[in-house]
Amino acid sequence: MIDDTLGSICTYTLQDIIGFGGSSKVFSATDENMNKFAIKAIRKDKGYEASVESMMVLREYLVMEHIGEHPNICKHFSCNPEGTLQHEGELQTISYNVMEFCENGSLSTIIKRTGAIEESIARFIFLQMSSAIEFLHSQNFCHLDIKLENTLLDEFFNAKLADFGSGVSLLKTAGQTNHKVGTPLYMAPEVKDLSPNDTFDGLKADIYSLGVTLCIMLLGEFPKQFTKENTSSTIGSSDVTDDEIMSCADEEDQYIQENYLSSECNELLTWMLQADPLKRPCIQEILSHPWISQASYEGMESEVYSEMKARIDSITNKRCS
């Protein structure tokens, strides 16, 4: 595979498939110096025209160039809209982005296979995710596909937000967009129910998706209703159509979080998951909420590493047994 987009020629050797998306497939890969990367390539089985493939790859790369780097955002190094893949002696065209390799995969895989995350661990990961979102929102950019699958974990289990192909700049639109994209289970109700010619607040839609992500981290599943008291919360109120992610909890378990989540955590979740986007917090309000701002993070890096490493090891052991 040849990457000459930035004026230099580089060959990558593809290894394992490490992820699937609606339009792309992600491989682990090494360059000629055995440095490891993730190659995000447009899926050929989708039947996109070559010009569309090139546009999709180039758009995400340019978006990442515009946004810049943040410690909790997956790095993009280069792209090749018109690359070449050599496979079994044959040459094929391929469009791809070259990204940071996150050794421990997605947060989705860990939760699916090992269950909910204890509150203090989830809070630390959520803080890193919120820091990335604050960085995006400060530039009037919304992600529009925040979810566990797009939260990657590096070798030390630091959270890295990925997949900016659905993102939109709101700089010239007063925060509004009509870009109806995302994953149904995580999608804000105003996006899911968007009518032709309508728009929605992209930043507040991100907040809802971030709330769903936190909810599944804490519960391991998606309850049909968040609290008895808050009837305006919309968790589970729309049909779930995405098979790849968590299923809804059973009806009798819909209030299970009250048994073990702190009142402050429950309050923040309820606030983020309001049906009315005007009633949701902005990202700065989330970061200043007592559940985040008044917590102690001393020693949390090692605690998170130990817990998540044990979960990864248990997954590996199950595969080998």
Pick the most confident of 41-50, 108-117, 279-288. Answer: 279-288
Of residues 54 and 6, which shows the higher confidence score? 54
Q: Which residues of 20-34 are buried (b: 16+ CB within 10 A; e: fewer)?
A: ebeebbbbbbebeee
Do 177 and 276 lie in one domain? The reply is: yes
231-264 tens-digit pLDDT: 343 433 333 333 333 444 443 333 444 557 899 9
Give domain status of residue 11, yes or no: yes
Q: Does position 302 have pLDDT exceeding 60, yes or no? A: yes
Instruction: Round to whole Å and give the CA distance between 292 and 300.
Output: 13
Q: Are 126 and 283 in contact (CB under 8 A)?
A: no
Do 157 and 28 lie in one domain? The reply is: no
Which member of 145, 163, 201, 206 is catalytic?
145
Q: Which two tokens stand for residue 299?
A: 């020693």
Give the position of tokens 């808050």. 230
User: Which 8-state DSSP code applies to residue 261?
Assistant: S
Give the model's confidence band at 316: pLDDT under 50 very low, under 70 low, under 90 confident, else very high: confident
**261-264-267-269 Cα dihedral, nearest 10 degrees:** -60
- pLDDT value at position 218? 93
Give domain status of residue 318, yes or no: no
Give domain status of residue 187, yes or no: yes
The residue out of 100, 122, 156 marking a domain boundary is 100
- pLDDT value at position 221? 81
Domain count, the chain: 2
258-292 tens-digit pLDDT: 557 899 999 999 999 999 999 999 999 999 999 99
Do 50 and 156 lie in one domain? The reply is: no
Do 206 and 68 lie in one domain? The reply is: no
The residue out of 100, 130, 156 marking a domain boundary is 100
Do 67 and 186 lie in one domain? The reply is: no
* Percent of the chain whose pLDDT exceeds 70: 85
Residue 20 C-beta-side C-alpha neighbours within 13 Å: 6
Give the model's confidence band at 90: pLDDT under 50 very low, under 70 low, under 90 confident, else very high: confident
45 in active site: no
Do 85 and 124 lie in one domain? The reply is: no
Identify the domain containing residue 239 by its residue range.
107-310
- R_g of the chain computed on alpha carbons: 20
Do 189 and 62 lie in one domain? The reply is: no
- pLDDT value at position 27? 93
**4-52-188-208 Cα dihedral, nearest 10 degrees:** 0
Do 210 and 270 lie in one domain? The reply is: yes
Do 121 and 73 lie in one domain? The reply is: no
Q: Which long-range contacts (CB under 8 A, 24 or more apart) does 248-256 make?
A: 248/221, 248/222, 248/223, 248/224, 249/219, 249/221, 249/222, 249/223, 249/224, 251/224, 253/221, 253/223, 254/223, 254/224, 254/225, 255/223, 255/225, 255/227, 255/228, 256/219, 256/223
Do 10 and 150 lie in one domain? The reply is: no
Binding residue positions for ATP: 44
Give domain status of residue 321, yes or no: no
Binding residue positions: 44
Q: Does position 83 have pLDDT exceeding 90, yes or no? A: no
The residue out of 57, 79, 100 marking a domain boundary is 100
Query: At 306, which CATH number?
Result: 1.10.510.10
Nearest partner of 46 among 24, 19, 61, judged by Cα: 24
**pTM: predicted TM-score of the whole model, two decimal places:** 0.86
Do 113 and 157 lie in one domain? The reply is: yes
Q: Does position 225 have pLDDT exceeding 60, yes or no? A: no
- pLDDT value at position 48? 87
Do 188 and 259 lie in one domain? The reply is: yes
- pLDDT value at position 312? 95
154-198 tens-digit pLDDT: 999 999 999 998 899 999 999 999 999 989 899 999 999 999 899
Q: Average pLDDT, whole number, for the chain?
A: 85
Give domain status of residue 218, yes or no: yes
- pLDDT value at position 249? 41
